[in-house]
Amino acid sequence: MTDTKVFLLDGGSLVLDGYHVFWNRGPGGEVRFPVYSILIEHRDGRFLIDTGYDYDHVMKVLPFEKPIQSKEQTIPGALALLGLAPKDVGVVVNSHFHFDHVGGNKFFPHAKKICHRDEIAQAITPQPFEVLGYSDLSFSKQAADARNASQQLLAGTSADNSTFEGVTGDIELAKGVTLIFTPGHAIGHYSLLVEFSNRKPILFTIDASYTQKSLETLCQASFHVDPVQGVASMRRLKQLAEQHGAELMYSHDMENYKTYRTGTEFYG
Ligand SMILES: [Zn+2]
């Protein structure tokens, strides 16, 4: 049996105002934060959780987020550092469909796709305040057609295979790899718990908690569909981390990210 390994695929960085990162708390001012995807090598195959942002999409639709992304920080580039290509990944899971988590889906037409059942409908018909979050619909031709989005909003080409298996609640993808339902930031948001045989588990909050400070202060980002659910999800993550003795890792926390293993370094 091969032990589970987790690689973080560096996806570059973006900028938000501090009041968006820490809703109604701040302080304001530019905050540059990392974007990364999670590659799990498991005896049952390779699972990729999220696919980062598409540079051209951000420049077209959200240039104020000032993307910085090298070739190595694209999904194919980050996989190449590991001697892999998109075809080597069998399953792609999207934690939710915000643009900084789906931008590279188009590279995986062959892969099985999994998301929360409610995310596709929400991406097609978002709340008015969610439109920029759900602005990159290149992950699904059907979703893009359904939204009747203008060409301007769409970057790149849609994946050939954009059929998702919709799941609900907590779900074990493979032994020791569990999606944890943490709604609030998005209607069908998932966090991720990975268990190993030789080290403590890692609980990836993903966007339920952008940073360590967010979780400590129960201060979510200003992007959410239900902030009350968002706080409940944060409390649940704290509890789960304690219960499993898990190390917490955050999605958009530059200070912590600098200490994370990326590139060819891995957890496992
Ligand atoms: Zn995000």
CA distances (Å), origin 211, targets 85, 124, 165, 237, 248 = 30, 28, 29, 13, 10
Cα of 228 vs centre of ligand 1, distance in Å, is 19
For the chain, first and last CA: distance in Å?
A: 13
Task: List residues bridging with 174 in a β-sheet.
Answer: 177
Does position 260 have pLDDT exceeding 70, yes or no?
A: yes
Model's pTM, two decimal places?
0.93
Q: Give tens-digit pLDDT for 149-207.
A: 433 333 344 445 568 899 999 999 999 999 999 999 999 999 999 999 999 999 999 99
pLDDT of 243 higher than 90? yes
Distance (angstroms) between ligand 1 centre and the Cα of 10 equals 13
Would you place residue 212 in the very low, low, confident or very high pLDDT band (cuts 50, 70, 90)? very high
Instruction: Output the CA 95–ligand 1 centroid distance in Å.
Output: 9
Cα 214 to ligand 1 centroid, rounded to whole Å: 14
Confidence of residue 148 (pLDDT cuts 50, 70, 90): low
Quick one: pLDDT at residue 222?
A: 96
pLDDT at res. 156:
41
Give the confidence band of 121 by pLDDT, cuts at 50, 70, 90: confident
Please give the pLDDT value at position 50. 98
- Residue 161: predicted pLDDT: 58
pLDDT in tens, 65-107: 999 999 999 999 999 999 999 999 999 999 999 999 999 999 9
Q: Distance of CA 86 to CAs 47, 58, 97, 196, Å?
A: 11, 22, 19, 24
Residues lining ion ligand 1 (Cβ < 5 A) are 100, 207
**Tens-place pLDDT, residues 15-70:** 999 999 999 999 999 999 999 999 999 999 999 999 999 999 999 999 999 999 99
Q: Quote the ligand 1 centre to 1 CA distance (angstroms).
A: 33
Please tell me the predicted confidence (pLDDT) of residue 158. Answer: 47
Residues with catalytic roles: 100
Handedness of CA 36, 57, 77, 89 (dihedral sign): positive
Query: Which of the residue ranges 69-78, 132-141, 256-265 would you say has the lowest mean pLDDT?
Result: 132-141
- The predicted structure's pLDDT at residue 2: 66
Contact 34, 13 (CB under 8 A): yes
Contact 44, 111 (CB under 8 A): no
Q: How far is the CA of 229 from the centre of ligand 1 (A)?
A: 17
**Domain annotation for the chain: domains and CATH numbers:** 5-257 (3.60.15.10)
